[in-house]
Chains A and B, each alone.
Chain A
Amino acid sequence: MMDFWHVEFMRNTLVSALILGPACALLGVFVTLRGMAFFSDALAHSAITGVALGYLLQEWLHWNVDPMLFVLLFSLVLATVMAYFFDRTKLRPDTIIAFSFTGSVALGYLIISCGLGKYRLIDGILFGSIYSNSLQDIFRQAVLALAIVGILFYNLKSYALGILQPDLARVQGIRLERLNYLFALLVAATVTVCLKMVGALLLSALIVIPPAAAKVMAGNFRSMLLLAPVLGLLAAVCGVLLSFKVNAPSGPVMVLVNVGFLLGSLVVAGLQRRRRPA
């Protein structure tokens, strides 16, 4: 364990897991209760287009800008567009997510297939590259985690009421539409910052699974709010340590540990129901 701590990339990986595991899970409580699980998935996959666009502009305009900045910008724009469509059109949210998801991935694939992007980097976006975590990345992750905790707890009552019954929130003078846009942007920023950890294909697992397991076990909303980050933290740390132990990529191991927690919580809840007197 001490050897593990002395190797820089391992230490950075563990610190990232400690920061992002609980932060993603806390955000995920609201993502799942609002029925937006595939919203985060769509944003994660749109990162392919963001990075492709970034390289396209680099090649054409010779800008030396971090492609992750384009990923962030593209995610923010897509999140805003989807939030606008949720708010202003009669289309169902799943339809909006589906066409945003497929449309953005199609655009990214087209750019790459024309030879304008770099496959190597797309590979990193899809599957993550947590071992290349730098101190700058950890700083970004810490800022994001603080933003998630700050924004969600500052507006906790408004978001909770908005999930339960939007009209009850509006009657209290809560400007729900603004908060919904803010939430969409927060999810977009989270997706971008977390891409290195597990990649676009698996990212939504970190956001969706810990709150799902917490919901199965929790008796009320407060305990769900506490339990989800704890499970997110445990799954992320166990996943990283286990991946080093068995010499496997940490992203998929983290996700499988999360799935294990969810299945475990379902079994425990099932046993509790059986023991409860009728």
Chain B
Amino acid sequence: MVPDPQLLEVKTPVIRLSGVEVAYDRDRVLHDIDLEVRQGEILSFIGPNGAGKSTLFKALLGLVPCAAGKIEFSEGYSPSRTGYVPQVAALDRSIPFSVQELLTLNLSGSRWWLGGASQRRAVAAQLEQLHAGHLIDKSLHELSGGELQRVMIAYSLLRHPNLLILDEPSTGVDHAGVHELERLICHLRNQQQLTVLMASHDLHLVQLVSDRVCCLNCHICSLGSADEVMHAHYLKEFYALGGGRFRHGA
């Protein structure tokens, strides 16, 4: 799906990272990160395992402190107005949670265990928007990879965020599921005006949905349009791939 050209014209930065450095103990995971995230764009991060993609997201969400530099959100944007979809591998699916129970955890209100018709209506409406209403009573362990991603995105949208962070959304998703995911991500940006940050190893998905791509390997190695960045030279450097330009759908 081709990104909406009108939205590409919108250049207002909503997040500004200046000289950001993140370290675990004494190991620098990220350094010298200077980046602007523009309103309404889909910005994807690629890079090898351990490149710092998830850590960058955690720094944006305030889950890990910055050892140096600063992260500024423009008005109306903040970690609390950010929808976060973590890697599904980090979700413990052995716990007997139903989809409804999971989603109601992200609704405001303290009487979560009581359930109630209004909670169910809110959850069902959100799932319906993502064409996942039929999953509401299923257990998490019964869901396929694609269904779980859809449910997690529905979870993250319940608080009406204006920024969505997707960490490896195509993990465990089959080929058809990746196409569904592609349509969903573009729909969220085009219809709900969301700014989307995504980390993925799925270069096919990145190529299809991204307005800009950032190659990360502890620092920003390259940043630009998908065509500029996903070039054989970079891919070879990051993933040790053979020569030739990356061809999606191949």
Task: Give the interface of A toward B (CB within 8 A).
Answer: 33, 153, 156-157, 160-161, 163-165, 167-168, 170-173, 215, 218-222, 224-225
Contact = CB atoms under 8 A, between A and B. Distances in A.
B101 A165 contact: no
Contacts of A221: 95-98, 101
A37 to B, nearest CB: 14
A218 B94 CA distance: 12
B58 A167 contact: yes
Given A157-B112, A168-B84, A222 B101 contact: yes
A33 B95 contact: yes
B110 interface: yes
Nearest to A169: B105
22 contacts: A153-B113, A156-B113, A157-B110, A160-B97, A160-B101, A164-B105, A165-B90, A165-B91, A165-B92, A167-B63, A167-B84, A168-B86, A168-B106, A171-B61, A171-B79, A220-B96, A220-B97, A220-B139, A221-B98, A221-B101, A222-B113, A225-B113
Contacts of B105: 157, 160-161, 164, 168
Sorted nearest first, the 10 A-B pairs with minimum C-beta distance are: A220-B98, A157-B112, A221-B97, A165-B91, A161-B105, A171-B84, A221-B101, A170-B63, A167-B86, A156-B113
Interface in B134-186: 139, 155
Contacts of A161: 105
B27 to A, nearest CB: 12
A219 to B, nearest CB: 7
Contacts of A163: 92, 95
A168 B58 CA distance: 11
A107 B130 CA distance: 58
Interface residues of B, number: 25
A185 to B, nearest CB: 22
DSSP class of A's interface residues: helix, strand, loop or mixed?
helix
B115 interface: yes
Given A170-B63, A222-B101, 20 more contacts: A33-B95, A157-B110, A160-B101, A164-B95, A165-B90, A165-B92, A168-B86, A168-B155, A170-B61, A171-B63, A171-B82, A171-B84, A219-B96, A220-B96, A220-B101, A221-B97, A221-B98, A221-B101, A222-B115, A225-B113
Nearest to A157: B112
B80 interface: yes
A164 B91 contact: yes
Contacts of A172: 106
Interface string B109-134: 01011010000000000000000000
A153 B80 CA distance: 24
Contacts of A222: 101, 113, 115
A163 to B, nearest CB: 6
B208 interface: no
Contacts of A224: 96
A236 B106 CA distance: 36
B203 interface: no
Contacts of A157: 105, 110, 112-113
A261 to B, nearest CB: 17
Contacts of A167: 58, 61, 63, 84, 86, 90
Nearest to A225: B113
Contacts of A168: 84, 86, 105-106, 155
Contact of B139 (A164, A171, A173, A219): A219
B102 interface: yes
B56 to A, nearest CB: 14
Interface in B34-91: 58, 61, 63, 79-80, 82, 84, 86, 90-91
A220 B102 CA distance: 10
Contacts of A160: 97, 101, 105, 112
Contacts of A165: 86, 90-92
Given A164-B102, A165-B90, A173-B80, A215 B96 contact: yes
B160 to A, nearest CB: 14
A212 to B, nearest CB: 12
A170 B80 CA distance: 11
